[in-house]
Amino acid sequence: MAKKRIAVLTGAGVSAESGFATFRDTGGLWEQYNVNDVASIEGWYRNRELVLRFYNDRRRQLRDARPNAAHLAIAGLEKDYRVDVITQNVDNLHEKAGSTRVLHLHGELTKVRPENGLYDDTYRTDEVIDVGFEDVNLGDLAPNGQQLRPHIVFFGEAVPNIEKAIDLVSAADILLIVGTSLQVYPAAGLYRYARFDTPIYIIDPQDVPVHDKRITHIREVATKGMETFLKMLEK
């Protein structure tokens, strides 16, 4: 018999216990930086050096980061389920934990690509370069002669993987959402594509902004919440 399908939508909260600051919590990244300066397409054209430095810092931080028990528990679900992780995170901790199907909605820190023209957010997948944890600076060029930019979906740009994510959520028998404030669209609206009979579990220690009779809110941090979720699955 085919395995049941779980789609797992994750946000910064799943990596918080690996030592990464979230964006919108107290002490989060968007208190220290202006999101429009470092994570928007306008910010990129205003000051590429600042944006490159911001992502170089994030990339260096990722070098020594380890997946936590929540990433590992999500990977462990693959034993009994077909699991599709849809992550808003640009870290690689789901992959490090052993998840084999990971769709990155907002890009990946360890990758860069040519900027390809003013306000042009299109690219070919064969233009994407894996730089690991290395810095990328102004003047570092792609093979096509263009400045390299982070392989990140900046605010103001399209989210190329959203259609794939919608398909995965629509096909899910269970939807699990971990550690996202559900403030950033289109990712925040994905849960609406779950089938009418698909149970939705949200793990987050804070209030969640969505109300739907299919939702069970597990009000715990990701590591603890995953333990609770696994117990609920057993029942």
What sign has the CA pseudo-torsion 83, 84, 88, 89? Answer: positive
Cβ atoms < 10 Å from Cβ of 59 = 22
**Active-site residue (options: 71, 104, 106, 151):** 106
* Stretch touching ligand OAD by CB under 6 A, among 11-19, 49-57, 76-84, 165-173: 11-19
The answer to whether residue 106 is catalytic is: yes
In the complex, the smallest distance separating the C-beta of residue 206 from ligand OAD, rounded to whole angstroms, is 4
Ranges within 149-178 binding ligand OAD (CB under 6 A): 153
DSSP for 217-230, please give it: EE-S-HHHHHHHHH
- Exactly one of 34, 100, 206, 216 binds ligand OAD (CB under 6 A); that residue is 206
Q: Is 39 an interacting residue with respect to ligand OAD (CB under 6 A)?
A: yes
Residues 163, 82: Cα–Cα separation, whole Å: 19
- Asked if residue 107 lies in contact with residue 153, where contact means CB atoms within 8 angstroms, the answer is yes
Q: What are phi and psi of 102, to 5 degrees?
A: -125, 120
Pairing of strands 5-10, 174-178: parallel
Question: 173 or 208, CB closer to ligand OAD?
Answer: 208
Q: Is 180 an interacting residue with respect to ligand OAD (CB under 6 A)?
A: yes
- What residue ranges bind ligand OAD (CB under 6 A)? 11-13, 16-17, 22-25, 28, 35, 39, 88, 106, 153, 179-181, 183-184, 203-206, 221-222
Q: Which residues are catalytic?
A: 106
